[in-house]
């Protein structure tokens, strides 16, 4: 199995972590082990990244009673149900052969796993034939506890091509977001976390965030080096609202070895969907770096 494509290899080489990436990459497999299957069955959330019919990339959030995601074979994950009405990926998840990246994250335990592959439409939802399966470390994950499932909600409340002032405040207050990227025949969904304020709003159509040290794989940055399309998902954990952005991103390398990502907003969807899950206030990860003095938390 080819674990890395040329984009990731180029970033690993530039940063000087090729040997470490080769070692860490041994954890990437195609099979769903028993421990991974047990983990999936306990989760009430699944993040899915894919391209819509027009080619724009999005990250979406599925919510259900634990057990709605489960392994049904050594290389197959099945999902019962679907996305909320009006979600940008509704069509993609009803199209056989869609390349998808998925991320299952448990805020209760700071554990996460990624499963990327090809979508199959089923009678009750969809399934994914796995091409990549692997776990990630708990770095930058905030700990939270589930509070309640909210049955009612207006659904999609706003669409646009730029952030509103309220949406800008939500982004500045975020301690977590998810990013969908793609390259060739692969799609991927990944997590980014930090202290509130780690994502900067440079304008209503441009964001920036630091690339903190991670697992040395550089799957996300490698994808962006090959294909700049990206989709961001900002969950409001306490209300259950979601803010979805689609656009393009590029990596900027500083002379001191630092890295940051610039994201250009092209489309915005904000939703407060029925069946959403509310979570407690966070216990921040001890790995979160301190923010520069000119940046800090912004309340919603």
- The strand pairing partners of 231, in sequence order, are 180, 246
Q: Which of 111, 106, 126 is nearest to 48 (CA)?
A: 126
Which pTM value belongs to this model?
Answer: 0.95
* Position 291 in a domain: no
Looking at residue 192, what is its pLDDT?
Answer: 97
> What angle is formed at CA 96 by the lines to CA 93 and CA 101, rounded to 5 degrees?
55
Q: Angle at which helices 219-226 and 6-15 pack, to 10 degrees?
A: 120
> Over its length of 300 residues, how does the chain's per-residue pLDDT go in tens digits?
678 888 888 888 898 888 888 888 888 999 999 999 999 999 999 999 999 999 999 999 999 999 999 999 999 999 999 999 999 999 999 999 999 999 999 999 999 999 999 999 999 999 999 999 999 889 999 999 999 999 999 999 999 999 999 999 999 999 999 999 999 889 999 999 999 999 999 999 999 999 998 888 888 999 999 999 999 999 999 999 999 999 999 999 998 888 999 999 999 999 999 999 999 999 999 999 999 887 654 444
DSSP 181-194: EEETTEEEEEEEE-
Task: Classify 119 as helix, strand or coil.
Answer: strand
* Position 300 in a domain: no
> Which domain, by its residues, includes 258?
6-279
* Position 298 in a domain: no
241 — phi, psi (to 5°)? -70, 155
Domains identified in the chain, total number? 1
* Position 293 in a domain: no
Task: Classify 162 as helix, strand or coil.
Answer: coil
Q: How far apart are CA 187 and CA 179, in angstroms?
A: 11
Which structure tokens are listed for 107?
Answer: 């805020």
36 — phi, psi (to 5°)? -70, -40
Q: How far apart are CA 193 and CA 102, in angstroms?
A: 17
Q: How far apart are CA 72 and CA 32, in angstroms?
A: 9
* Position 72 in a domain: yes
* Position 167 in a domain: yes
Q: How far apart are CA 47 and CA 35, in angstroms?
A: 19
Looking at residue 299, what is its pLDDT?
Answer: 45
Here the CATH number for the domain that contains residue 247 is: 2.30.110.10
* Position 294 in a domain: no
- The strand pairing partners of 200, in sequence order, are 208
* Position 299 in a domain: no
């Amino acid at each position: 199995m080819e674990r890395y494509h040329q984009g990731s290899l180029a970033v690993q080489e530039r940063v000087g972590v090729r040997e470490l990436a080769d070692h860490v990459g041994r954890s990437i497999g195609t099979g769903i082990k028993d421990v991974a299957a047990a983990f999936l069955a306990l989760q009430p959330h699944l993040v899915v990244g894919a391209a819509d019919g027009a080619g724009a990339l999005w990250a979406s959030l599925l919510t259900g009673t634990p057990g709605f995601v489960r392994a049904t074979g050594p290389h197959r994950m099945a999902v019962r149900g679907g996305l909320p009405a009006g979600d940008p990926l509704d069509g993609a998840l009803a199209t056989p052969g869609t390349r998808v990246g998925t991320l299952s994250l448990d805020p209760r335990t700071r554990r996460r796993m990624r499963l990327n592959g090809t979508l199959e439409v089923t009678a009750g939802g969809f399934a994914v034939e796995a091409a990549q399966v692997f776990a990630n470390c708990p770095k930058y994950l905030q700990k939270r506890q589930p509070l309640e499932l909210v049955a009612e909600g207006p659904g999609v409340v706003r669409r646009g091509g730029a952030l509103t002032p309220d949406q800008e405040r939500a982004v500045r207050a975020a301690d977590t977001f998810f990013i969908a990227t793609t390259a060739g025949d692969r799609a991927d969904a990944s997590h980014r976390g930090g202290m509130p304020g780690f994502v900067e709003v440079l304008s209503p159509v441009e964001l920036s965030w630091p690339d903190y040290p991670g697992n040395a794989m550089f799957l996300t940055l490698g994808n962006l080096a090959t294909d700049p399309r990206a989709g961001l998902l900002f969950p409001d954990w306490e209300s259950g609202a979601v803010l979805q952005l689609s656009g393009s991103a590029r990596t900027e390398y500083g002379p001191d070895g630092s890295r940051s990502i610039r994201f250009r907003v092209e489309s915005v969807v904000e939703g407060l969907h029925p069946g959403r899950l509310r979570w407690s206030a966070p216990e921040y990860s001890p790995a979160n770096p301190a923010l520069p003095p000119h940046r800090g938390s912004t309340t919603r």
